[in-house]
Structure 1
Amino acid sequence: MSTNTLMSKINKHIQENFWLYIVSILCVFTGIILGMYSVKYMGEFEQNDLVNYLTSFIDPSNANGISYKLIFLQSIKNNLPVIIFLWFLGLTIVGIPIIIIIDLLKGFTVGFTFSFMISGLGKSGIGIAILGVLPQNIIYIPCIIFASVVSMEFSIMLLKDKFNKQWTSSITSRIVYYSLIFIVIIIFLFIGIIIESYIAPYFVKNLINNLGSVSK
């Protein structure tokens, strides 16, 4: 498939599902804003606990160093089930409300993490947030949005077919095509997982070492 054909299909998909993209994007960004504001209203005790945990985790004097393999496995555990669950929800016909909640939660997690690092660690937190949180989420967020839209689109298609009584043998080929799209999404997701596991921690480690210590 040529690049022009691929771009044409992507543009067509966006045009046909414009409002689904709007809904998904709005949910993610609403979640980000809610996550950022939730840090502001955290109790001092809870915030101090999290700051102490975070500073001990990224302390340059920590003899154990960074376990890239552990981060990799945790990143898979945190992200892969979400995409698989979105795939499943697209097959359920009634999964759209849950898809919207997943988008909100993903946005909330990103917003909370980013805001907490800046709020809890001050100037050092800005660099850590930019290098440690932002890079992989440049991949994750589009993957979540695209997977959400594809899932909602498929769910709506199944619902229309059911009401119109148009269930045919072609449903199997549609599910296969739908699943192949999710396999492609998972491939892109793993780019984000590799960034989160091996690239972002390396840059954060160098930043912490250059700063000498994490302080406000």
Structure 2
Amino acid sequence: MRNFRLMVKEQTPLYIFVAVLFLVGVVFGALIVSALTMDQQQELGDYLGNFFATVDQQGLPAAPESFWSIATLNLKWIGLIWILGLSVIGLPGILILDFLKGVLIGFTVGCLVSQYSWHGLLFALVSVAPHNLVLIPVLLVCSAAAIAFSLLMIRSRVLGQRRTTVTRPFAMYTLLSFLMALLILGVSCFETWVTPSMMRWVTPMLVVIGS
């Protein structure tokens, strides 16, 4: 536990860096929405309208199917970040993933707000925000740990600092990623069983607006 606290303290600048990168991605994703043409906005509005109508009439897929789909997608992010952290050339890939995650969230929220105003914001608060309040910090923690280990690999393999041992840092890095993966499963449970109920509560208002 002491080693983990020390690792977190040492990686604080990396946490700030990846958080800022993620926020830049969110802003960029929101700006993309405003850059869409009228035809693209119309197509997007039709797609969202059909989606909300389907959710309102038919509900969402069965929970077990949704859980494994959601959990697999989230775990792929963690696994990919872990793999990129093991290689010297994986550092840019980690940064791209953090930025891309921010873009996806910014674009999603931006689309909802642009099409449905405060009703869209309300839907984003119940469908996008709750699980991401845990998921995003998990991804940022994993990213910071991956960047730190990748930098350690660079010092050890590329710069020739042979005194730099990687065995213990690798074990801690892998253990941290495993613990974050377990937390992801809990987040996926929330997203599977709780989020749909919250979405069904807001969806009728959006269907009325879109009709």
TM-score (norm 1): 0.85
1:165 aligns with 2:151: no
Q: Structure 2 unaligned runs (5+)?
A: none
Structure 1 equivalent of residue 118 of structure 2: 123
Q: What is the number of equivalent residue pairs in this alignment?
A: 207
1:54 aligns with 2:48: yes
Amino acid corresponding to residue 11 of structure 2 in structure 1: N
Structure 2 equivalent of residue 133 of structure 1: 128
Kindly report which structure 2 residues correspond to 1:11-22, keeping only aligned pairs within 5 A, or say none.
12-22=6-16
* Pair 191,61 (structure 1): closer, same or farther in 2 beyond 3 Å: closer
Bigger shift: 99-108 or 115-124? 115-124
Per-residue CA deviation, residues 153-200 of structure 1 (Å, 9 max, x unaligned), is 1111222222212376x62x5433322211101111122222222211
* Pair 57,71 (structure 1): closer, same or farther in 2 beyond 3 Å: farther
TM-score (norm 2): 0.87
Separation of aligned partners in 1, 2:9 and 2:164: 26
Percent identity for Structure 1 against Structure 2: 24
Amino acid corresponding to residue 126 of structure 2 in structure 1: L
Structure 2 equivalent of residue 94 of structure 1: 89
After TM superposition, give the deviation of residue 70 of structure 1 in Å: 4.3
Structure 1 equivalent of residue 145 of structure 2: 150
- The list of structure 1 runs, each at least 4 consecutive aligned residues, that deviate by more than 4 angstroms after superposition, is none
Cα RMSD (Å): 2.3
After TM superposition, give the deviation of residue 106 of structure 1 in Å: 0.5
Query: Match for 2:23 among 25, 29, 53?
Result: 29
Structure 1 equivalent of residue 174 of structure 2: 179
Separation of aligned partners in 1, 2:44 and 2:206: 20
